[in-house]
């Protein structure tokens, strides 16, 4: 097995015997090539799904298996226990146990700003709850939208009678659950609710028919802008207008080098070869647009900047830059990348007003990164510079 490094190997259970299937790179579109039959290995069973090998269930890449190495107690309780720890570590935050909402202890007399989504992207979104940013963050299971009862709790924790703005990433599960919860809150409490949907990932074609572009790391900018606007006492329509303006000038692109492992699953959901990187891969491992040999920081910076520039022209504009790590990439590499990005943006006559480098919106232990550019005008610059005190983002 070890001498066929570029091949994917899967075990496939069929009745009593276990077939060994080898799928070559060339055949990875679904076609399979049966290489032989070996003795069964207990514990490595993958169901035979009508001839389709569910090879993602058991990922054996390059002859070695990837096992889960996580500091946890119970895979089913990771979100709960994480939030318990977070609330203990940041006493200014309140944790609604059972409903998995992190909110500020003290409600301000202002528009509430809430965000939420699947867990596994820490510090997003609970790490951005605090003065100058979110009022509440609603956490779902890992990579899975929170349910309406949790969102309702988030809305009521954030609502001070002046309305609530939802900052959502563009995923159908989030949109459906938040929509249902908003309708319930409007009906039950009479809360005024509006929303902005972040769709910054240029790797996905923008389409109105399908769900369209995903929301990724650039979302953190929207938390900051909307939070600052609300903190200034803007009414709901103006908070939304500022956030929407930021969303319209926000573009991101990412790259992943290793898969991530969901605690409840225990094995990677997909495989990336040892020497390869996937450009445009989503923050839940959604397929990217190009698989290539791992680029140098310089090549990657150019690729990122070109792809973003091709989608929205930032030439001559001022922009905030976010170089985001996906959880498994050291800060050293992110700064190396930022060094290159700064050079390239300067060459392209894009003025960097403010930069952020770090793990702002992650994907469990995935190695990889993303670049986000936020186009700024005077209003957005002021909002970006406004004070903000949250566990994961402090501007003082």
Scored b (16 or more CB within 10 A) or e, 175-191 reads: bebbbebbebbeeeeeb
**What is the smallest separation between the CB atom of 389 and other proteins, expressed in angstroms?**
31
Out of 17, 41, 172, 290, the residue judged to bind other proteins by CB under 8 A: 172
Q: How many CB atoms are located within 10 Å of the residue 208 CB?
A: 6
Catalytic residue among 57, 90, 223, 284: 284
Considering only 6, 34, 38, 47, the residue that binds other proteins (CB under 8 A) is 47
Judged by CB under 8 A, which of 96, 103, 115, 145 binds other proteins?
Answer: 145
Rounded to the nearest angstrom, the gap between the alpha carbon of residue 169 and the centroid of all alpha carbons in its chain is: 9
The two tokens of residue 207 are 């389409």
Strands 8-14 and 60-61: antiparallel
Question: Among 322, 315, 372, which residue's Cα sits nearest to residue 345?
Answer: 315
Cβ closest to other proteins, residue 138 vs residue 334: 138
Q: What minimum distance in Å lies between the beta carbon of 152 and other proteins?
A: 10
Q: What is the dihedral of CA 207, 211, 214, 218, to 10 degrees?
A: 80
Could you say which of 86, 87, 230, 262 contacts other proteins (CB under 8 A)? 262
Has 284 been annotated as catalytic?
yes
Cβ pair 134, 165 in contact under 8 A? no
Phi, psi of 225 (to 5 degrees): -65, -50
Kindly write out the interface string for residues 315-354 of this chain, putting x where it contacts other proteins by CB under 8 A and - elsewhere: ----------------------------------------
* DSSP character at residue 316: T
The mark string for 80-109 relative to other proteins (x by CB under 8 A, - otherwise) is ------------------------------
Asked if 57 is an active-site residue, the reply is: no
**Shortest Cβ distance from residue 50 to other proteins (Å)?**
4
Spatial distance between the Cα atoms of 136 and 223, rounded to a whole number of angstroms: 11
Q: Does 284 bind other proteins (CB under 8 A)?
A: yes
Residue 195 contacts other proteins per CB under 8 A: no
List the catalytic residues: 121, 284
Query: Which residues make up the interface to other proteins (CB under 8 A)?
Result: 13-15, 45-52, 54-57, 76, 118, 140-150, 171-173, 176-177, 180, 211, 262, 264-265, 267, 269, 284-285
């Amino acid at each position: 097995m070890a001498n066929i490094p570029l091949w994917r190997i899967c075990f496939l259970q069929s009745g009593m015997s276990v077939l060994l299937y080898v799928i070559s790179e060339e055949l990875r579109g679904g076609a399979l090539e049966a290489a032989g039959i070996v003795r069964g290995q207990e514990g490595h069973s993958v169901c035979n799904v009508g001839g389709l090998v569910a090879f993602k269930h058991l990922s054996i890449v390059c002859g070695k298996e990837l096992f889960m190495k996580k500091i946890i107690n119970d895979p089913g309780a990771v979100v709960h226990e994480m939030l318990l720890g977070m609330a203990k570590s940041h006493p200014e935050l309140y944790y609604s146990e059972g409903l998995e909402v992190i909110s500020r202890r003290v409600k301000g007399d202002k528009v509430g700003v809430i965000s939420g989504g699947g867990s596994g992207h820490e510090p997003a979104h609970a790490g951005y709850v605090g003065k100058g940013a979110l009022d509440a963050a609603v956490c779902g299971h890992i990579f899975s939208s929170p349910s309406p009862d949790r969102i309702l709790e988030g809305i009521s924790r954030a609502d001070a009678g002046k309305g609530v703005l939802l900052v959502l990433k563009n995923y159908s599960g989030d949109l459906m659950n938040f929509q249902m919860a908003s309708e319930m809150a409007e009906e039950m409490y009479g809360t005024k609710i509006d929303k902005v949907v972040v769709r910054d990932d240029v790797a996905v074609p923008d389409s109105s028919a399908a769900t369209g572009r995903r929301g990724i790391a650039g979302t953190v900018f929207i938390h900051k802008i909307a939070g600052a606007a609300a903190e200034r006492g803007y009414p709901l329509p103006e908070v939304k207008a500022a956030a929407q303006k930021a969303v319209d000038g926000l573009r991101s692109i990412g790259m992943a080098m290793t898969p991530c492992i969901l605690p409840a699953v225990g094995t990677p959901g997909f495989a990336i070869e040892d020497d390869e990187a996937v450009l445009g891969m989503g923050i839940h491992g959604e397929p990217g647009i190009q698989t290539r040999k791992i680029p140098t920081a310089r090549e990657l910076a150019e690729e990122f900047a070109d792809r973003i520039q091709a989608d929205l022209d930032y030439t001559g504009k001022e922009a905030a830059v976010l170089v985001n790590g996906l959880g498994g990439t050291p800060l050293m590499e992110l700064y190396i990348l930022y060094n290159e990005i700064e050079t390239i943006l300067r060459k392209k006559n894009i003025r960097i007003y403010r930069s952020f480098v770090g793990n702002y919106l992650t994907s469990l232990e995935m190695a990889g990164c993303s670049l986000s550019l936020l186009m700024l005008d005077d209003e957005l610059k002021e909002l970006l510079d406004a004070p903000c005190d949250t566990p994961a983002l402090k501007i003082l």
